[in-house]
Amino acid sequence: QQPVQSPQAVILREGEDAVINCSSSKALYSVHWYRQKHGEAPVFLMILLKGGEQMRHEKISASFNEKKQQSSLYLTASQLSYSGTYFCGTEPSGTYKYIFGTGTRLKVLA
């Protein structure tokens, strides 16, 4: 039931772009995206709702394909501060129960 994220890890140079995918085996109502830095708590980035629009957070955007039960996170012109582990949290319809994905470790190098 845990959503699968890909890739598991990615290394970028500053200014490069990256895409992180999140796939669920269940029909979804909403998807949350969080970033967690080492030794810290997860921090909310954005939420995507079924039937909603693509969201943005600074130079990070995300999309939600309800039919494919997938969400993707797009990091544009990456900055050093983007380094961390990204988690998607998927919610099967109407449950409020978020199941977090396997995580994607992202490292941005100068």
Partner 1 sequence: DAGVIQSPRHEVTEMGQEVTLRCKPISGHNSLFWYRQTMMRGLELLIYFNNNVPIDDSGMPEDRFSAKMPNASFSTLKIQPSEPRDSAVYFCASSFTGYNEQFFGPGTRLTVL
Question: Which amino acid makes up residue 49?
Answer: L
Closer residue to partner 1, CB minimum distance, 72 or 103:
103
Binding map of partner 1 across residues 15-34, x = CB under 8 A, - = no contact: ---------------x-x--
Q: How far is residue 5's CA from residue 85's CA, in Å, rounded to a whole number?
A: 11
Closer residue to partner 1, CB minimum distance, 84 or 101:
101
Instruction: Provide, rounded to whole angstroms, the least separation between the CB of residue 84 and partner 1.
Output: 13
Region 50-89 residues binding partner 1, contact defined as CB under 8 A: 87, 89
Q: Which of these, 79, 73, 83, lies nearest to 33 by C-alpha position?
A: 73
Selected from 72, 101, 104, 108, the binder of partner 1 by CB under 8 A is: 101
Question: Which amino acid makes up residue 87?
Answer: F
